[in-house]
Amino acid sequence: MIASVMMSDLSWDEYQRRIADEDAIVLLPVGAVEQHGYHLPLGTDWMMATYMARRAAENVGGVVAAPITYGYRSQIRTGGGPHRGGTTNLDGLTLINLVKDVLKELVRHGARKLAVIDGHFENRFYLDEACFLAVRELEYAGITDAKILKMIYAEDIKPETLETIYAGKTYPGLDLEHGGILETAMMLYCHPDHVDMSKIPDEDLPKFPPYDLFPVDPDWVPASGGLSSGKGSTVEMGRLLVEEFVDLVSTSLSKEFR
Amino acid sequence: MIASVMMSDLSWDEYQRRIADEDAIVLLPVGAVEQHGYHLPLGTDWMMATYMARRAAENVGGVVAAPITYGYRSQIRTGGGPHRGGTTNLDGLTLINLVKDVLKELVRHGARKLAVIDGHFENRFYLDEACFLAVRELEYAGITDAKILKMIYAEDIKPETLETIYAGKTYPGLDLEHGGILETAMMLYCHPDHVDMSKIPDEDLPKFPPYDLFPVDPDWVPASGGLSSGKGSTVEMGRLLVEEFVDLVSTSLSKEFR
Amino acid sequence: MIASVMMSDLSWDEYQRRIADEDAIVLLPVGAVEQHGYHLPLGTDWMMATYMARRAAENVGGVVAAPITYGYRSQIRTGGGPHRGGTTNLDGLTLINLVKDVLKELVRHGARKLAVIDGHFENRFYLDEACFLAVRELEYAGITDAKILKMIYAEDIKPETLETIYAGKTYPGLDLEHGGILETAMMLYCHPDHVDMSKIPDEDLPKFPPYDLFPVDPDWVPASGGLSSGKGSTVEMGRLLVEEFVDLVSTSLSKEFR
Amino acid sequence: MIASVMMSDLSWDEYQRRIADEDAIVLLPVGAVEQHGYHLPLGTDWMMATYMARRAAENVGGVVAAPITYGYRSQIRTGGGPHRGGTTNLDGLTLINLVKDVLKELVRHGARKLAVIDGHFENRFYLDEACFLAVRELEYAGITDAKILKMIYAEDIKPETLETIYAGKTYPGLDLEHGGILETAMMLYCHPDHVDMSKIPDEDLPKFPPYDLFPVDPDWVPASGGLSSGKGSTVEMGRLLVEEFVDLVSTSLSKEFR
Amino acid sequence: MIASVMMSDLSWDEYQRRIADEDAIVLLPVGAVEQHGYHLPLGTDWMMATYMARRAAENVGGVVAAPITYGYRSQIRTGGGPHRGGTTNLDGLTLINLVKDVLKELVRHGARKLAVIDGHFENRFYLDEACFLAVRELEYAGITDAKILKMIYAEDIKPETLETIYAGKTYPGLDLEHGGILETAMMLYCHPDHVDMSKIPDEDLPKFPPYDLFPVDPDWVPASGGLSSGKGSTVEMGRLLVEEFVDLVSTSLSKEFR
Amino acid sequence: MIASVMMSDLSWDEYQRRIADEDAIVLLPVGAVEQHGYHLPLGTDWMMATYMARRAAENVGGVVAAPITYGYRSQIRTGGGPHRGGTTNLDGLTLINLVKDVLKELVRHGARKLAVIDGHFENRFYLDEACFLAVRELEYAGITDAKILKMIYAEDIKPETLETIYAGKTYPGLDLEHGGILETAMMLYCHPDHVDMSKIPDEDLPKFPPYDLFPVDPDWVPASGGLSSGKGSTVEMGRLLVEEFVDLVSTSLSKEFR
């Protein structure tokens, strides 16, 4: 069979061997199916989370579990909102149980070093709950030596990187970086055939009030669904960002597990 | 009976009258019972959320529902973690259902203008889910004209306010402002008999890595539980902040509902 | 900080100290937001439960956790029904999970002597379930030495007290004592500024059939929502009742825990 | 096929015919599998509930759905407690969902007149919730003309009947009538081959405090599990009680549905 | 009391004695209330499951718990579909929790040899889940020596039996044997007064496509609801089948438990 | 962007256009991460389900939603059991909610023609429930014109195909075809670099009794985890099967939707 760090590509005995003999870290990528403007694909979040998990697994000796492709409900001020076409929202409880079940199973397989790699901002607290509940239920079953690291792969960006990329323009913050320069650049680097720069529109940036409304007011979000513009993104920016994040994830894993 | 904007203080007919005749906005404060260092009480979050809801209700013609005193599980990098003594964590599903049930009932009473005032950072996405599900289930019952505004009362702070308060020091960000200057100052102003400035320790600020661990590593958090120091807080700072936030909440409500 | 038995008023270290050093009983008041006729406030149940918990805590060395202000769905023959304005009903599952979560957390804090003080008749079996499930899940986590006492604070009334208060009239039973003489008298004693005796109407008492209907028939309940009349209540009656119940709760706690 | 009012005995078309042509009331008996002392069988509650439903159905033109044989968790002061051998407790949520699902299906079949006949005291509030939720979800599906009557078949006992039966002795109340004179007499009348009078022990009656403990203290309950003695029960007493209750249920159904 | 293997007929102490002294296997029959054509009753599945459990219990030393009369949602290609009159469907979660709760209680009573006897095809995977979850939660409580055998009583049919019964005609498979020759014959043998052979219609057999549709298309199923014809069934065929299945269940139990 | 029928590859507006302008069928592949012997990868089920969905989508004008990679708990007699290394089991409720949420969202996007393509036998009844509940909740929201087709892609195999492939040997049935000739051949054809024929062991086929045990007895399953042997599989057999199944799925979709 092909050489791979992807659990789905491995036979069960090879997977078990990596845990038993190589003390493999098992990484679970969690993303979303969510609109990312006209120029990026709906799968951006889970594709990027899977990419990061794979690269980090290659760096630190890991296996990447099958990605969780759907994520928590998009919020209007961070992902354009749950009402958008294509955006495919899970209820919070569904995501919690899904991630919890998978984590518990990975531990049953023998893994004790686990990581959840998040590619969708709104997943954040739901992944916290999933990890917490997995640990609690494992404890019920007498297993207390499993350790789960959870992170948004882009949790931290070096100021100098932002400076290079934004070059005088204002960084809108990770929240608003939905379909914006960072995501666009990273996709250009990792999945160039999934980006169509020509489709980025000229739109006014949304100005969100300091609250949310339910039901959402669709007028808060530009027609494209992007919360900031991806214009000006380049493969080179993508390389800079992606390699920094691969390093961030790998270093985090190494620090806790190696 | 006493004059009051608190729903719990009103007879049911008076409460109904305010909705029917005065088009009252019904505000639901949601907080937490969570450690806030040695110098602030466990009830800080729900007390402050209730305070803000009351002040805003007085400004905009509202009624404040009984506060939800318990909140979502404290996270280590924003509230010191779920493992701390005194911190009393609800499961995510519990909080979602609790807030959802109450919101649906308020709508059944006739309220169509509702607000959820959040005083605990970790509640954020769980309140989003509660509001979303309330709207969805109300829709099942044929009610589509209710509108819920949800906000962290401190969602937005004016740069000049931060400058005045931090005066040269670095603002650690709202995440780390747990038991810090802002919260301490606000409590000094609103609940002075619940603050003991003499108990603020000299501690190194925590330096969190860009990830979470499950189970948590207790060593990440200073002994007091505070994530930044409340030293230097004054009643005057508290007044500045509180009045700004009361204004922020009131203005937000007015903009959407008046 | 102020001297207090209320957990919300204490810093976490002081709260922990009371459990560790003073073997404090931790009491959780559970009430409801429910119509109580024209003359009593919507918060009657949770205010009275909190009052009783506080008084008992002062007597027996206890700490009172933040009250659970919302309760189980009002039933027509005991609380006027779920359909009434102002009555704010939780689903049964919501209340079970809420109380269960809080109880488990109090045990995590180190408390082993716990009490649930119920001020709302309909909570009864749901609190049983919450306590049972808390014990079961604590047992899963290996904790088997926690003990929870659960009671309606007015579970038992001395015949002579009833005789004094009803003085020749028939006691309608605790079920129908909704907004009636007992509750009115107790509120006059504990929260006099929350009672308006002038608003008690002349109404025929409801005569309930020996069954319930779903959906409810609103005509079963008098317009005011009271199931018996509060007329004739006095502060003195309130004193008699309240002190008896404070004694009942305190004695119960002492018998099991001291 | 045999003549029957039991839904399980009917072919589907005959069942449908009774609803469509005879406007049949559909009755759902709910009982429990619970210890009832040495002299009564574990199935007492569901057998008696089914008996009552059948007799009433014959009186008022009804069909009896398959009985729900398991009930809510036995409580120590009303059923001897959940810890007893043979007592088979459902979680509250399980019973709620079970009864709710069945009720919704009966309505889908075309029934609009429904009755839940309860033979187990602890089911009370859980059946309330089940009925309420069934109505709520039916409303979501656009069905608003179904009506559910819910009653404990022994909800009301004529004072003269109690006088005849207790003849000078004190009636302990329905709560404590667990395995006592009433239940024993009724079983002697309805299911004589399921009673062994010789096995009733001489035991002191329990004296319960005005609270519950979790976990329960097994010493609160006599060894037999009965909360009062069935001694002195006769078939004649059973006849008196059973016919009164059959009449109570039938009259209640007629009043609401005929 | 009557001699019986039915748990509902036994006093609690006799039931406990059989487990403790006779090492009784406790069998839980699970059926359904589901249309079975014009000629068989709605209770066919739970009546047959209970029959099989009773016969096997008599053979191997068992006690039969109160039957679970309702089952999982009927599917169109195996039971005629959930939309049929009289068919009374539980949600999957409801059935899982119901069976799980009962199994856990039986184990709490001391039983360590348990069997779930399934009489309704659609229950299959839901009973798997219930058994799995019961074992998992018992493990949380430290109980690891309970063993549950689960089977459809008709899981296996000897080819020679099919040959005898179908005598040249094609066996449609267990899936389509809904209201067909096998079930009809068995009911003729076990419950002859519940069969009306004269009501079996002449209908074309359904030809199902290799998929399901949601919502179902009612035209897929013949008017009677039967998926194959019961014509030609005889008591003798019933005897052959029933005794073979009684033997299959008994032998299976003996192999694992005796 | 690349030409694709995969929803994750499309921008949201292109996806919406296909539904609106091309009346696209939206297909949701559901698989599992499950051991498939030494010679096939853990992702076999979701990879094959996704393959089938993609091929059918290309044939009938469809879009393939992001695959659900995890499935319901493996059963010992159909998938080798939940206890095996690498097999990653979801709880039944988790899978139900996951598929239900996604289906409802696809309908919200405007899709009215949906298909669930199942590649894992144990998912069967859980997918039924998910589809049923999705339809029910959509009906609550007033949407009644969505239609979901659900099938196991290998639901039907032509006798002549089996004859060709098994050529004199006995077809073990789809249940036991776990890691056997069919799956191996199909993977050789679709994902040749994921098969290692040299790793297929010589093992005795399992002989399962007509029941299940909980907990499972690991000895029931051969060491490799395969329930029948993949030996003798060829690419050509794979082609025969895969093209037949692609045709089966495509024809089914066309029949209902085109």
pLDDT tier, A236 (very low <50, low <70, confident <90, very high otherwise): very high
Contact flag for B and E (3+ C-beta pairs < 8 Å): no
| Contacts E201 to D, Cβ<8 Å | none
Contact flag for C and F (3+ C-beta pairs < 8 Å): no
F144 burial level (CB within 10 Å; 0-12, 13-18, 19+):
exposed
Per-residue pLDDT at C1: 80
Mean pLDDT of E238-243: 98
Closest listed residue to residue D74, CA positions, set D231, D250, D212: D212
Q: How far apart are CA D43 and CA E9, in angstroms?
A: 6
Q: Spell out which chain E residues touch chain C, with contact meaning CB-CB distance below 8 angstroms.
A: 140-141
Q: How many residues does chain D have?
A: 258
Q: Can F178 be counted among the known catalytic residues? A: yes
Q: Does the structure show a pLDDT above 80 at E175?
A: no
Per-residue pLDDT at A124: 96
pLDDT, one tens digit per residue, over F5-22 is: 999 999 999 999 999 999
Mean pLDDT of F140-165: 95
Q: Does the structure show a pLDDT above 90 at E10?
A: yes
Interface test with B, best of C12, C15, C48 (most B CBs within 10 A): C12
pLDDT, one tens digit per residue, over D169-216 is: 878 887 788 899 999 999 999 999 999 999 999 998 899 999 999 999
DSSP string, C98-133: HHHHHHHHHHHTT--EEEEEE--GGGHHHHHHHHHH
Q: Does the structure show a pLDDT above 90 at E34?
A: yes
Mean pLDDT of D84-112: 98
Across all residues in chain A, what is the average pLDDT?
96
Test A195 with F65 for CB contact under 8 angstroms. no
pLDDT tier, A92 (very low <50, low <70, confident <90, very high otherwise): very high
Helices and strands (H and E) in chain D: how many: 8, 7
Q: Can B137 be counted among the known catalytic residues? A: no
Residues of A marked as catalytic: 34, 36, 45, 120, 122, 178, 183
What is the three-class DSSP state of B54?
Answer: helix
Q: Does the structure show a pLDDT above 80 at D226?
A: yes
Q: In the β-sheet with D25-30, what is the strand arrangement from edge to edge?
A: C212-214, D147-152, D113-118, D25-30, D62-64
Q: Can F183 be counted among the known catalytic residues? A: yes
pLDDT, one tens digit per residue, over E116-172 is: 999 999 999 999 999 999 999 999 999 999 999 999 999 999 999 999 998 878 788
Q: Which of A138-152, E174-188, F63-77, F147-161 has the least mean pLDDT?
A: E174-188
Amino acid at F137: E
Residue D223 phi, psi (nearest 5): -55, -35
pLDDT, one tens digit per residue, over E71-104 is: 999 999 999 999 999 999 999 999 999 999 999 9
Residue located via tokens 């667990």: D178
Residue with more model confidence, A29 or E168? A29
Q: Does the structure show a pLDDT above 80 at D91?
A: yes
Q: Spell out which chain C residues touch chain A, with contact meaning CB-CB distance below 8 angstroms.
A: 140-141
- Angle of helix C124-140 versus helix D124-140 axis, rounded to 10: 100
Per-residue pLDDT at A173: 80
**Own/partner long-range contacts of D241-245 (Cβ < 8 Å, ≥24 apart):** D241/D154, D241/D157, D241/D161, D241/D165, D241/D182, D241/D185, D241/D186, D241/D189, D242/D51, D242/D52, D242/D186, D242/D189, D242/D190, D244/D157, D244/D158, D244/D161, D245/D52, D245/D153, D245/D154, D245/D186
| Contacts C140 to E, Cβ<8 Å | 140-141
What is the three-class DSSP state of A152?
Answer: strand
Q: Which chains touch D (3 or more CB pairs under 8 A)?
A: B, C, E, F
Per-residue pLDDT at B1: 80
Q: Torsion-angle region of residue D93: left (phi > 0), alpha (psi -120 to 50) or beta?
A: alpha
Per-residue pLDDT at E101: 98
**How many Å separate Cα B192 from the centre of its chain?**
18
Closest CA–CA distance from residue B24 to any residue of chain A (Å): 18
Q: Does the structure show a pLDDT above 90 at F170?
A: no
Catalytic site residue from D34, D39, D118, D177: D34
Residues 6+ apart with CB under 8 A from F163: none
pLDDT, one tens digit per residue, over F221-243 is: 999 999 999 999 999 999 999 99
Closest listed residue to residue E36, CA positions, set D106, D11, D65, D7: D11
Residues 6+ apart with CB under 8 A from E172: E180, E205, E227, E228
Per-residue pLDDT at A176: 81
Q: Can B36 be counted among the known catalytic residues? A: yes
Joined tokens for residue A230: 């991806």
Q: How far apart are CA E125 and CA E144, in angstroms?
A: 22
Residue located via tokens 């004269």: E198
Per residue in A171-185, is it b (16+ CB within 10 Å) or e — as a string?
A: bbebebbbbbbbbbb
Catalytic site residue from B120, B139, B175, B236: B120
Positions in chain B short of pLDDT 70? none
H or E stretch including F190? helix F181-190
Across all residues in chain F, what is the average pLDDT?
96
Indicate the domain borders of chain F: 7-257
pLDDT, one tens digit per residue, over C49-107 is: 999 999 999 999 999 999 999 999 999 999 999 999 999 999 999 999 999 999 999 99
Of F2, F94, F106, the CB nearest to A193: F2
Per-residue pLDDT at B175: 77
Could you tell me the sign of the dihedral formed by the alpha carbons of A237, A240, A246, A251, in that order? negative
Helices and strands (H and E) in chain A: how many: 8, 7
Q: Does the structure show a pLDDT above 80 at C174?
A: no
| Contacts E140 to A, Cβ<8 Å | 140-141
Catalytic site residue from D39, D118, D120, D177: D120
Per-residue pLDDT at E22: 97
CATH 3.40.50.10310, applies to B7-257 = yes
Mean pLDDT of D86-105: 98
pLDDT, one tens digit per residue, over C15-27 is: 999 999 999 999 9
Residue with more model confidence, E172 or C181? C181
pLDDT tier, F25 (very low <50, low <70, confident <90, very high otherwise): very high
- Rounded to two decimals, the pTM is 0.98
Residue pairs between chains C and E whose CB atoms are closer than 8 Å:
4
Joined tokens for residue E95: 């059935």
What is the three-class DSSP state of E37?
Answer: coil
Interface test with C, best of E93, E94, E140 (most C CBs within 10 A): E140
What is the three-class DSSP state of F5?
Answer: coil
